[in-house]
């Protein structure tokens, strides 16, 4: 008999007074923005745990690999910590993947939130632990986030409602609908996973991509490499998030249309996900419906229990 795939593990939703532990798996962070972001988290009604040594700095990393992994693992093992939010992105998440305590996370899956370089960690945990992770704001980005970003994060982690994301200024690049698990990530960070043991499985998935400070030719180069590596074979659908500070939309969107010209999938642009001022929270690994004509991404079940 063919074995049935196990249902994805969903973490418990947060309630007022729950503790969010702060990790720094990648780069060091600005202290002022960090403290402002902590204030936003506290204003939502949550407590925060800032581990000792979180502010270490080794060049472009928030401490040595073992140090960053140790802090993350301690938060995973701490039963008083109900969620883990990352301080910032930058670079470094890929360096600690093999150091993570996956058994502890599998035994007690928690809400893990971040984006940019942190998406490497999110997709790794989603795959190896069969759990929902959350592509959303980080502590330092909450300092400048608009109210919709804050509300979207709170709605995703507080309570058990089914999420529906509707962008303000959607652009249908290719009509149609698709259903499948949502996988979201930073284009540059995902491209650097090509040829590694940490490549995500994208077959049948709705892929959400975003990036910042990347010129159109660099976006083309990364997408071409990923396509040649077979990443986009049998993709279900594509959502384009924020691509700020790199090129104009009229330069970037045709690149995606060309790269995916031989894939009969719906493509929706204009999603407020990524490095822009608005960064809506998306559960990773959960099944959803993308409607590129009616401009929504609708999850089939709550991301938390």
User: Catalytic one among 93, 210, 214, 295?
Assistant: 210
- Helix, strand, coil % over all residues of the chain, rounded to 5: 30, 25, 45
Q: Do residues 269 and 249 make contact, with C-beta atoms less than 8 angstroms apart?
A: yes
To the query of whether residue 210 is one of the catalytic residues in this protein, the response is yes
User: Catalytic one among 116, 214, 272, 295?
Assistant: 116
Give the DSSP letter of residue 73.
H
| Token pair recorded at residue 55 | 């502010």
To the query of whether residue 175 is one of the catalytic residues in this protein, the response is no
Q: Do residues 114 and 86 make contact, with C-beta atoms less than 8 angstroms apart?
A: yes
Residues 157 and 138: their CA atoms lie apart, in Å, by 14
Which residues share a beta bridge with 186? Answer: 210
User: Catalytic one among 93, 135, 272, 275?
Assistant: 275
To the query of whether residue 16 is one of the catalytic residues in this protein, the response is no
Residues 29 and 34: their CA atoms lie apart, in Å, by 7
| Token pair recorded at residue 72 | 């993350």
- Report, as residue numbers or ranges, the catalytic residues: 116, 210, 275
């Amino acid at each position: 008999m063919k074995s049935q795939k196990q249902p994805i593990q969903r973490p418990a939703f947060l309630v007022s007074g729950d503790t969010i532990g702060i990790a720094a798996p990648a780069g060091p962070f600005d202290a002022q923005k960090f403290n402002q972001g902590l204030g936003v988290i506290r204003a939502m009604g949550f407590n925060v745990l800032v581990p000792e040594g979180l502010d270490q700095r080794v060049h472009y990393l928030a401490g040595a690999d073992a140090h960053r992994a140790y802090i993350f693992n301690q938060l995973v093992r701490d039963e008083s910590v109900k969620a883990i939010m990352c301080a910032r992105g930058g670079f470094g998440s890929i360096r600690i993947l093999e150091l993570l305590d996956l058994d502890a996370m599998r035994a007690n899956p928690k809400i893990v939130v971040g984006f940019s370089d942190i998406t490497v960690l999110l997709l790794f945990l989603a795959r190896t632990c069969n759990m929902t992770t959350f592509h959303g704001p980080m502590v330092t980005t909450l300092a400048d986030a608009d109210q919709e970003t804050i509300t979207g994060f709170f709605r995703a982690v507080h309570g058990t409602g089914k999420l529906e994301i509707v962008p303000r200024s959607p652009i249908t690049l290719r009509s149609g609908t698709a259903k499948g698990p949502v996988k979201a990530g930073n284009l540059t960070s995902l491209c650097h996973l090509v040829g590694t043991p940490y490549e995500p499985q994208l077959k049948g998935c709705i892929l959400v991509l975003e990036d910042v400070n990347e010129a159109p030719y660099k976006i083309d180069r990364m997408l071409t490499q990923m396509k040649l590596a077979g990443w986009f074979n049998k993709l279900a659908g594509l959502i384009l998030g924020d691509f700020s500070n790199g090129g104009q939309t009229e330069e970037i969107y045709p690149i995606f249309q060309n790269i995916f010209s031989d894939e009969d999938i719906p493509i929706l642009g204009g999603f407020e996900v990524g490095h822009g001022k608005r960064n809506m929270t998306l559960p990773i690994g959960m099944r959803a419906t993308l409607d590129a004509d009616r401009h929504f991404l609708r999850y089939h079940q709550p991301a938390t229990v």
